[in-house]
Structure 1
């Protein structure tokens, strides 16, 4: 019989909050549950046939099954640099890009490269849970700034900076925020970049959703407004999460530090999936058509979910109107607490994430995040009917 061992863990780990979303995935994976919880792109929207063709072509190259450069496949870095140059309105060289195993690894590597325990970091409130975990693991001192319908309230940040706050990093999901769904306005983007220049901090612009604009061009990145911005990107939401391909662009000194740390972490990102990602992103005509279809499907799903919510709950909730991305944000006005509603909702066959999972300092006990990307409209309507039934049962 194997006896259990008592393993002392680091003090940093004790400060890392578990992800309520990841914990929910086991419950919502049951076939009878319609999940609005995980931030998962719809499997039916993923280009599986095109990925399969790219994989078949990739394995003909012996380098596809070999170790690669830590900074990433040169071809992929060139393709990413070309795409980023168009969005930024200025030239970005392939040497200004490092490929990572998803953008989550990029965020972790940036934090490890820049932060010492106790360093101040500004996060949004509500916060992207993956960022919260990274900064807690780094031992950072968190300073939350609220998010409203126009993204991070940069005036609040400016006031705190004027009062003496000196963060090393300011993290933002500026476009189609996770979880709030909001997009940072152009004036706030310019103001944030100007504050970074004035006070000397780095902005980490986490941008997995920026290309998922429904009815307009993608938002101009914060990095287009100033030079003290680290951009994180990902293939997960526009191609396929299983590729585990992300990237970052940053000042050269930081990129060199990230590359050294990545050598410690995983040596390199999968050569095979990098070749696939490069193939798909470089096929401009195909990728543009794929994005158009993806945006149209997400627009339809967002309208289906928000329309069903408003019809079912009326004035008992306020519901955001997504302009892109994957999420809508609910706030109950009748005193309902989604964390208390969730167990009953799961009994009725629907899952979501209570707002408390994303809270840093704010009281988000009346809020919830719903993901519309994972399910087609008919299932979204069914999900809202189940949620309404659970709500009415709880309220009675």
Structure 2
């Protein structure tokens, strides 16, 4: 049998732990809170079909031809206006790069800035796919403690002092994946200041920021950036459709130009038809009303989940109460092996994502993520009743 000589970027054991978890959770009899999927019943199918039809009528040949690596101008203009109105981020068109989903933005920044041995500072816990990307480019990690107000700035500065080779700080400041926490405005200001002071870059990942159903909007970290050290990225996956694979990055023109060259060698450009269609959708529809509908539904489902947790979970269990987004975080004292707990919950026909893959360093046992966006209301209570029974059995072992 051939022994293939993979690069060091390929995980040595070849396993996909999260993929295996999601596959196990896909059994139809299992109520799964494991995925991170938007609610498909809110996809604007009819309106998007009309947008695509208009694109074919007015821009058919252009949409089907090769395009610019930076993206379709009409969509970049939509993004430029969007970040100005929603995030108070001033930008020129040359500051905007369209990417093939936000995953490509992560990959391009990792490829452009992370050399083997560089340190990336991340929240504890953090988005697991970001860890995978930066790890593939040889990054070392240092985790920064969080509380209910997001990454702690005193801990961040300590980590910067302790790791002088830090190249990048990665943060999800709004409704963080996996915890659902939101960073305060004051900490965002401090983060931008620390980035300039220590000459490190901040990658601000904001896929969920528009989906707010409680509290007040907090401006982006990028809006406090005076030196160009903050790169802002987001996506249309959570507000329109993940299948379009449309993300974007707003950064200094020099950074965007470098990332554009790297993107050209990866995929030439992002799908033209999807870009034209989304630009047309914004022109023809009340996007704010659409996002409000999403937020209202997710807020309702989050409230139902919290009611179920309070009703069925054993005493002592801790959990977050997000003001938006798609996830909340649960911590069960007394549980030493969350993966084993996951297996026990499968026997109760309910699933979650164990917390282990979200940690860059030492794992916090008994922690896991629950998703409420893609679960019908009548199934939420049933699933939490099953989960509560499994947790009670595990705690009382």
Do they superpose with TM above 0.5? Answer: yes
Equivalent residue, structure 1, for 2:290: 290
Q: Is the 8 A contact 2:128 2:359 kept in 1?
A: no
Task: Give, in whole Å, the separation in 1 of the partners of 2:205 and 2:267.
Answer: 21
Kindly indicate whether the alpha-carbon contact (under 8 Å) linking 1:310 and 1:319 is maintained by their aligned counterparts in 2: no
Give me the whole-angstrom Cα distance separating, in 1, the residues matched to 2:250 and 2:233. 7
**Residue 39 and residue 66 in structure 1: after superposition, are their counterparts in 2 closer, same or farther (change >3 A)?**
same
Q: Hey, what does 2:178 align to over in structure 1?
A: 179
**Structure 2 residue 387 is matched with structure 1 residue 390:** no
Cα distance in 2 for partners of 1:162, 1:93 equals 34
Matched position secondary structure for 1:14? coil
In the alignment, what sits opposite 2:209? Answer: 210
| Residues in 2 aligned to 1:223 and 1:325: alpha-carbon distance in whole angstroms | 20
Q: Is the 8 A contact 1:125 1:362 kept in 2?
A: no
Report what 1:45 is aligned to: 42
Change beyond 3 A, Cα 1:236–1:19: farther
After superposition, the C-alpha distances for 1:222-276 in whole angstroms (9 at most, x for unaligned) are 0011131100110001111001000001111111111001111011100111112
Distance apart, 1:158 and its partner CA: 0.8
Matched, 1:259 2:256: no
Q: Aligned to 1:13, what secondary structure does the other structure show?
A: coil
Return the match for 1:59 from 46, 50, 56: 56
Greater Cα shift, 25-34 or 229-238? 25-34
Q: Tell whether the 8 Å contact from 2:97 to 2:248 is kept in structure 1 after alignment.
A: yes
Residue of structure 1 in register with 2:240 after alignment: 239
- What's the counterpart of residue 281 of structure 2? 280
Q: Which moved more, 1:176-185 or 1:10-19?
A: 10-19
TM-score by length of 1: 0.94
Structure 1 contact 16–137 (Cα < 8 Å) conserved: no
Q: Is the 8 A contact 1:116 1:140 kept in 2?
A: yes
Report the count of equivalent residues: 392
- Specify whether residues 326 and 349 from structure 1 end up closer, same or farther in structure 2 by C-alpha distance, changes over 3 A only: same
Q: Following superposition of structure 1 onto structure 2, how do residues 165-204 of structure 1 map, counting pairs within 5 Å?
A: 165-204=164-203
Aligned position for 1:335: 335
SS in 1 for 2:10: helix
TM-score normalised by structure 2 residue count: 0.94
Q: Secondary structure at the match of 1:168?
A: strand
Quick check: 58-67 or 37-46, which moved more? 58-67
> Is residue 204–residue 221 contact of structure 2 (8 Å, CA) maintained in 1?
yes
Worse-matched range after superposition: 149-158 or 61-70: 61-70
Distance change (3 Å), C-alpha of 1:16 and 1:272: farther
Q: Is 1:319 aligned to residue 319 of structure 2?
A: yes
Shift of 1:338: 3.1
- Distance in 1, matches of 2:283 and 2:29, equals 39
